[in-house]
């Protein structure tokens, strides 16, 4: 297949650089351990990851801590409103390749997310773990099973055949650009080196947006979430709006953990956020050493792909 690549200007690069299960933990079928979550803003928010360690703890000492912080420094310096607009225009063309959803799943075998302090497994493992955990607890919501499988497929833009984008332009927490950076965003201090931080057009509460404008009208920091959202939407998926919402905002932690930026949401966003909070538990807590028999589950997911997507998609 022919793949056309235009390499964008990526901006400034920063320098390269089991606890025992207690009585408050829930065990999903298949061996997934999910700690009993604590209530936050009307929703339940878990505290520890699949290995029993504090979840998404960016301050805890670990082999990956310094690399993760350096990642966010580079990310926060370079993710400007103009950069996001440029990347959306370029990658929104979807003119690189035509392939199926499953073919894309297989491409992710070599991808490891450097921004994630909890996971160092190939992405295909995480996709299937997420989907299967959801399937066990929500057997009748097949669209949610499929969303679990495909939510990270946008990470293929890390691969050379898709342009080889740097990690900071693909993974990590996402957030709106074009308005003030909320203090709840991880490693917020590095935004002080982002030119938008001082631009009066972009550094106010609403910036270029208006109250209740709807998140679909908001530019998010560019990454795999937004790219996969564009792929699904432009290829006319029949997933419900909640599925598209999950795909685009599953890394928008300042919203679904800290409830920032709610002033930009419309009524549909409010309803879809309920599904995102359900999904988020499985996205986080299915990170596990439990292996999935790919060939055993593949026919089921192929049937869902046929139901909600065309056989070949433009990427």
Q: Residues 23, 78: one domain?
A: no
Q: Is residue 290 part of a domain?
A: yes
Mean residue pLDDT across the chain: 82
Q: Is 254 annotated as a binding residue?
A: no
Q: Residues 247, 290: one domain?
A: yes
Q: Is 6 annotated as a binding residue?
A: no
Q: Residues 36, 168: one domain?
A: no
Q: Residues 36, 86: one domain?
A: no
Q: Is residue 304 part of a domain?
A: yes
Q: Is 145 annotated as a binding residue?
A: no
Q: Is 57 annotated as a binding residue?
A: no
**Helix, strand or coil for residue 242?**
helix
Q: Residues 251, 304: one domain?
A: yes
Phi and psi at 55, nearest 5°, equal -75, 135
Q: Is residue 309 part of a domain?
A: yes
Distance CA 292, CA 203 (A): 45
Q: Is 155 annotated as a binding residue?
A: yes
Q: Is residue 55 part of a domain?
A: no
Distance CA 282, CA 199 (A): 38
pLDDT above 70 for 172: yes
Q: Is residue 52 part of a domain?
A: no
Q: Residues 181, 121: one domain?
A: yes
Q: Is 115 annotated as a binding residue?
A: yes
Q: Residues 197, 245: one domain?
A: yes
Q: Is 225 annotated as a binding residue?
A: no
Q: Residues 134, 265: one domain?
A: yes
- Could you list the residue range(s) of the whole structural domain that residue 5 is in? 1-46
pLDDT above 50 for 7: no
Distance CA 303, CA 315 (A): 21
**Quick one: CA dihedral 253, 256, 257, 259, positive or negative?**
positive
Confidence at residue 53, expressed as pLDDT on a 0 to 100 scale:
38
Distance CA 148, CA 153 (A): 10
Q: Is residue 61 part of a domain?
A: no
Each residue's pLDDT tens digit, 208-243: 999 999 999 999 999 999 999 999 999 999 999 999
Q: Is 114 annotated as a binding residue?
A: yes
Q: Is residue 23 part of a domain?
A: yes
Each residue's pLDDT tens digit, 257-290: 999 999 999 999 999 999 999 999 998 765 555 6
Confidence at residue 23, expressed as pLDDT on a 0 to 100 scale:
30
Q: Residues 41, 81: one domain?
A: no
Q: Residues 120, 84: one domain?
A: yes
Please list the alpha-helical segments (H only) found in the chain.
65-78, 81-91, 101-107, 123-137, 142-150, 224-234, 241-249, 253-256, 267-285, 294-308
Q: Is 61 annotated as a binding residue?
A: no
Distance CA 108, CA 103 (A): 9
* Contact between 129 and 33 (Cβ < 8 Å): no
Q: Is 250 annotated as a binding residue?
A: yes
Distance CA 151, CA 244 (A): 9
DSSP state of 98: E
Q: Is residue 260 part of a domain?
A: yes
Q: Is 76 annotated as a binding residue?
A: no
Q: Residues 110, 229: one domain?
A: yes
Confidence at residue 310, expressed as pLDDT on a 0 to 100 scale:
98
Each residue's pLDDT tens digit, 21-60: 233 333 333 333 333 333 333 333 344 443 333 444 445 5
Determine the longest span between alpha carbons in the chain, in angstroms.
55
Phi and psi at 25, nearest 5°, equal -100, 145
Those residues with Cβ within 8 angstroms of residue 126's Cβ, 6 or more apart along the chain or in another chain: 119, 152, 286, 287
Structural domains counted in the chain: 2
Report how far apart the first and last C-alpha atoms of the chain are (Å, whole number): 12
Integer CA distances (angstroms), 187 to 59, 90, 241, 254, 315, in order = 10, 28, 31, 12, 32
Q: Residues 42, 74: one domain?
A: no
Q: Is 18 annotated as a binding residue?
A: no
């Amino acid at each position: 297949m022919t793949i056309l690549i235009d390499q964008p200007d990526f901006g400034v690069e920063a320098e390269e650089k089991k606890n025992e299960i207690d009585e408050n933990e829930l065990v999903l079928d298949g061996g997934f351990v999910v700690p009993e979550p604590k209530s936050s803003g009307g929703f339940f928010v878990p505290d520890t990851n699949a290995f029993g360690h504090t979840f998404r703890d960016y301050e805890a000492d670990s082999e990956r801590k310094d690399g993760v912080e350096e990642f966010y420094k580079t990310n926060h310096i370079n993710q400007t409103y103009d950069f996001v607009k440029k990347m959306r225009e370029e990658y929104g063309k979807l003119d690189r390749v035509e392939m199926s959803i499953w073919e894309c799943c297989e491409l992710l075998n070599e991808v490891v997310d450097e921004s994630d302090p909890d996971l160092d497994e190939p992405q295909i493992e995480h996709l299937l773990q997420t989907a299967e955990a959801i399937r066990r607890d929500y057997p009748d919501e097949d669209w949610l099973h499929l969303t679990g499988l495909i939510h990270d497929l946008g990470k293929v833009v890390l691969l050379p055949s898709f342009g080889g984008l740097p990690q900071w332009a693909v993974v990590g927490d996402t957030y709106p650009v074009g308005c003030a950076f909320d203090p709840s965003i991880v490693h917020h201090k590095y935004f002080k080196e982002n030119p938008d931080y001082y631009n009066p057009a972009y550094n106010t509460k609403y910036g270029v947006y208006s109250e209740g404008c709807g998140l679909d009208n908001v530019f998010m920091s560019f990454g795999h979430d937004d790219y996969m959202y564009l792929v699904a939407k432009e290829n006319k998926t029949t997933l419900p709006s909640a599925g598209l919402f999950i795909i685009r905002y599953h890394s928008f932690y300042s919203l679904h953990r800290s409830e920032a930026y709610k002033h930009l949401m419309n009524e549909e966003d409010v309803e879809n956020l309920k599904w995102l909070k359900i999904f988020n538990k499985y996205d986080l807590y299915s990170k596990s050493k439990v292996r999935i028999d790919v060939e055993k589950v593949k026919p089921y997911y192929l049937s869902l792909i046929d139901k909600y997507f065309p056989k070949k998609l433009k990427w």
